[in-house]
Chain A
């Protein structure tokens, strides 16, 4: 039995006169990992910003667990469990790793579970435990990405929106992070929308995928369909 978690219908978003989204339709079922692929400037980040209310869409509908959330405030969505890891990580550079993580639990009313969540995170990324007193800005890029993902987990997400977690990282680190993303999905049943440039890797992880070109979804299907389709491989996956 599949339940739709998030659904976008005809979402249009503009920055002034520039229309970045020209009617985006997509849906994500509970427990799925969805990859959102596309070239630079296709509108992937804008899609996430529209969902989280950072850039309110002009028209269209966005529903999260059956509830209309278009134009809702970001902080209310975080409380509902819709949490984004922004592009370029955006950790708090002057705060320690531990403080960064605690900041992730900002919206939680019940702060008693934090210690247990920290335990979970330090098991997921042991390196963060050894770095916990170090300020976030001094972490390496890969560690910062781990911290960014971990921090979002501290808010107990029902659904995670990840914007290019592989950005600027070495292949081995990317593999590590992707393994963890899968783990988060299977162990906690967290639904994941993954925006990626690295299509090959994203498709290894995702159940389904959407391809975006200049503000529109131009192709959708299961990950295996994409990986096996000769035309898709040529056009988007580099042969």
Chain B
């Protein structure tokens, strides 16, 4: 069957594609009309009206809208072709099944262990060859990794939307800040104390919200975050908005790291002379904390408690029917998730040596939540990548100065549309890759079970029952 493609036909297709884009462009121009055309001159208290910028806005929106629709269509199209490839009635070579992602390749690799060692070695060398600025950025990134992994326990694994997570970070930071300021307690004493305080506060918040879930939980946690910030802002002990300054950095057996050790490092290892060696030490502390967190969270997820959390996230009724104590599951998720925020807070306070309530705004909670969502809910490598991307990206985008946050928001929206599962999706087999038997079964469950439990790697044969 061949149709003659006429000019009017093409015209109609183009029109159907362009109409929504034109509408979008028109709509945006209308919305932005006042802010794009009027500019206020504060010196002589007048304002100027000019249409100069409107064409750019209109054209820009139009092009973006076309691109947007194109990529959405492409995505839908890819989805269809994938489904077709997996369906029956195609030649064998077309039914290969989904290609393994690079992540599965890395995972299955025989060199995985070596890879981790190499990565650790690079991480260990990095601060000695970087600039002070880079080390600072890296410490911040690692703090966010810890925060992300902690919140992932609450949101990603247990499915409890916590919008006040930054409060626990603040509690950790203030625990160290206050104890150091008033009693001169050291970092190493305060690190466990900060974690503990945050855990207790997590429990405290947990009790009233046991019966809540979804939207209600989100609102209560959000309020908790804001209340914490306001309390810190108004108490005299916390010195209100002035915050606490001159917090000691973490000590290293009482040795002044910027003395002899620095001389050695600068002379023999060519470390940047402007470097504050305390920062390098902080880097290693947070690196260790991240490693411990990863190990801990990983083991937790595969433990009995982790399964209870998963069940709670999936279905609360069924979770109870399985004999899981929902109350305990919820409280432990809140408490343990907060622990990491507390620990990260202590490190944060020692890193920047000055804290005030403004460092712990609602935006912070949102950033950490974005890390978890962008990285991939419930996926540990995803959250790590998300934290690195989200803490480093704003630095990279500094070039765009005032449009930085706008761009950041746009990137997030794009991410969520085109990769809703996050950068690295939680690895759960959704589609069956390997099937034995013909679906009706031959009563030979044993043999099949052997195949299922004995062969951990499902092979993508693409065959259908």
Contacts and interface: CB of A to CB of B under 8 A. Distances in A.
Given A75-B325, A152-B321, A103 B437 contact: no
Interface string A19-62: 00000000000000000000000000000000010100000000
A204 to B, nearest CB: 24
Interface string B422-448: 000000111111111101111101101
Given A92-B315, A119-B449, A122-B445, A133 B320 contact: no
B440 A127 contact: yes
A155 interface: yes
Interface residues of B, number: 39
B42 interface: no
B314 A95 contact: yes
B307 interface: yes
Contact of A155 (B323, B433, B442, B445): B323
B318 A92 contact: yes
B437 A95 contact: no
Nearest to A154: B322
Contacts of B435: 130
Interface in A90-149: 90-96, 98, 102-104, 106-107, 115, 118-123, 126-127, 129-135, 138
Contacts of B313: 94
Interface in A161-199: none
Q: Which of A77, A95, A133, A138 has the most CB of B within 10 A?
A: A133
A102 to B, nearest CB: 8
Contacts of A211: none
Contacts of A138: 430-431
B317 interface: yes
Interface stretch (A7-15, A81-89, A228-236): A81-89
B310 interface: yes
B324 interface: yes
A115 B445 CA distance: 12
B453 interface: yes
Contacts of A155: 322-323
Nearest to A76: B323
A78 interface: yes
B465 interface: yes
B304 interface: yes
Interface of B: 304, 307-308, 310-311, 313-315, 317-318, 320-325, 428-437, 439-443, 445-446, 448-449, 452-453, 458, 465
Interface of A: 52, 54, 73-75, 77-79, 83-86, 90-96, 98, 102-104, 106-107, 115, 118-123, 126-127, 129-135, 138, 151-152, 155
User: What are the nearest 6 A-B pairs in CB distance?
Assistant: A126-B441, A78-B323, A122-B445, A92-B314, A107-B323, A90-B318
